[in-house]
Amino acid sequence: MHLSRFPRLHFSHLPTPLEPLENLTKLLGGPKIFIKRDDCTGLATGGNKTRKLEFLMGEAQQKKADTIITQGATQSNHVRQTVAISSKLGLRCEVLLEHRTGSEDPDYLENGNVLLDRLFGANIHSVPAGTDMDAAMQDIADDFRKNGANPYIIPGGGSNPTGALGYVNCAMELVGQLNDRSLKIDHLVTATGSAGTQSGLVVGLEGTRSGIPVLGICVNADKEKRKNEETGKEEEVEVSKKVKKESPYEVIFKEPNRRQLEEADMEYSIEISRCIKKGILTKAMLAKKYSDTGGLLTEKDAERLVDLYGELAELESQMAKLGAPSKSQTDKEDNRIKNIGGKMALVRRDIVALESSYQSLFNHTADIKSQNRVILWYILHLSYFKTSEMKKPELIFPGNDFDDKTDTYYAKDENDDELFRLVQSKLAAVVSYWYFSDSPEKDDFDKIIDDLSA
Ligand SMILES: Cc1ncc(COP(=O)(O)O)c(C=O)c1O
């Protein structure tokens, strides 16, 4: 998209930062949330109108305007920024402020943005709520034209096709930042009022074929109301969001150093030889044993399995002879079908049990036992926790050596220790995943923890 085709002035502080909102993400229990810091656009304390004004003021300058006319609510941010840039460019600025809220608070009427509007030298026209603001701006413009001036009208919020170009540019800037950081975002959520921000973002994100959908949250709509069944009166709906209760513990799994990796390896070898001494074979030894004695199954089990499959085939053919269940079926036929179905279920269960006993045989090999012991070694040596009161993290399972730490582990289990209850399954899943994966990414761990928390 070639935005240089449009007249533009450059006064925004761009690019604005893209920052992770870590605390909010944590509070909500994910997803990861980032903020595009368009409060940092510069120009009279910044805000989203600065970007629009680059294109609007570019057009005003191209048209050789000497007077800028705009409108907004009394405390309008758009008005404050428009007045500021007009002042900077040495242009006269006429603003219409609509008294939309009805507030008579002197601070609302004269302080904040209104004070800034005055300081930047705007001529303020205060009008009551409900005034036709576009017509009122036209009237002012007509008066100026009659007096030989060249006015340029900026609609409320700076939202028209020209102003929206500011957010087309923002979308392109954002996509560039995402690409630079290899960040993939799924949704963009924006506040929407006069809709120039949202429409510009939609055009920019579509034009760059980013595939990022935009959700606008309206800042102008009336609060949602519902009728109270008892009183018959309308009440505001309380909008609340379920926030996951935050745990007081931060759990840290430290990466092992070289010495620890060697110690864990050593533990693996010790456990393997311990198992073999006890008669527990490794997977390789087991496989060899079965190949030497002719196949995986013992002769007895192989015969039993053949019998079971024969029984199943017989029952299936009996069932087939009875045909598909129909409405005209007699009670006798119905009972017979149920009877055969029950027998089939039992035979199938026996087959599964027999077959899986061979699978579980492999699960009880020396290799698997040793791997589990190494994973426990890592959990016990590298898991730390921290609460907000603690200066630095402490070991979850303190102890002088592996045996000592193992005692702590089982003691915590028996005493239903709160932290242990919270982290036990998560630590096991995360550490196992880390142990068996090639080069796991942080995102993969986050996903495991999310799944376990669900
Ligand atoms: C901070 C902020 N974001 C977004 C918006 C909405 O922008 P737009 O008027 O372009 O829809 C406004 C204005 O209401 C705003 O003040």
Q: What is the mean pLDDT of the chain?
A: 87
- Ligand 1 site, residue 196, Cβ cutoff 6 A: yes
The residue type found at 165 is L
User: What is the rounded distance in angstroms from the CA atom of residue 426 to the CA atom of residue 452?
Assistant: 7
Lowest mean pLDDT among 104-108, 178-182, 233-237, 320-324: 233-237
* Distance from residue 29's CA to the centre of ligand 1 (Å): 27
Cα–Cα distances in angstroms (integers) from residue 243 to residues 29, 248, 254, 351, in the given order: 7, 15, 28, 47
Nearest to 34 by CA among 45, 23, 46, 42: 23
User: What is the rounded distance in angstroms from the CA atom of residue 195 to the CA atom of residue 161?
Assistant: 10
* Distance from residue 78's CA to the centre of ligand 1 (Å): 8
Nearest to 399 by CA among 383, 413, 387: 383
Residue nearest to atom 13 of ligand 1 (CA): 193
DSSP-derived secondary structure letter, 102:
-
253-309, pLDDT tens digit by residue?
888 888 998 899 899 999 999 998 988 888 778 777 776 666 667 778 778 888 888
* Distance from residue 422's CA to the centre of ligand 1 (Å): 42
Residue 241 has pLDDT above 60, yes or no: no
Nearest to 215 by CA among 239, 242, 192, 193: 192
* Distance from residue 61's CA to the centre of ligand 1 (Å): 24
DSSP-derived secondary structure letter, 40:
G
Q: Please report how the helices 283-292 and 366-382 are oriented relative to each other, as an axis angle in degrees rounded to 10.
A: 170
Residue 454 has pLDDT above 60, yes or no: no
- Ligand 1 site, residue 199, Cβ cutoff 6 A: no
73-85, pLDDT tens digit by residue?
999 999 999 999 9
Region for residue 195 given its phi and psi (left: phi exceeds 0; alpha: psi -120 to 50; beta: otherwise): left
Number of H helices, E strands in the chain: 16, 13
Residue nearest to atom 14 of ligand 1 (CA): 193
- Ligand 1 site, residue 48, Cβ cutoff 6 A: yes
User: What is the rounded distance in angstroms from the CA atom of residue 190 to the CA atom of residue 284?
Assistant: 59
pLDDT score, position 74: 95
- Ligand 1 site, residue 191, Cβ cutoff 6 A: yes
Q: Which atom of ligand 1 lies at the shortest distance from residue 167's CA?
A: 10
- Ligand 1 site, residue 77, Cβ cutoff 6 A: yes
- Ligand 1 site, residue 81, Cβ cutoff 6 A: no
242 confidence band (pLDDT: 50, 70, 90): very low
Cα–Cα distances in angstroms (integers) from residue 40 to residues 116, 156, 367, in the given order: 18, 21, 58
* Distance from residue 5's CA to the centre of ligand 1 (Å): 26
Answer yes or no: are the C-beta atoms of 396 and 385 closer than 8 Å.
Answer: yes
Return the number of other C-beta atoms located less than 10 Å from residue 275's C-beta.
Answer: 20
Q: Which atom of ligand 1 lies at the shortest distance from residue 52's CA?
A: 10
- Stretch (H or E) spanning 56: helix 49-62
Q: Which atom of ligand 1 lies at the shortest distance from residue 164's CA?
A: 10
Long-range contacts of the stretch 101-105 (C-beta < 8 A, 24+): 101/73, 101/74, 102/129
Answer yes or no: are the C-beta atoms of 167 and 196 closer than 8 Å.
Answer: yes
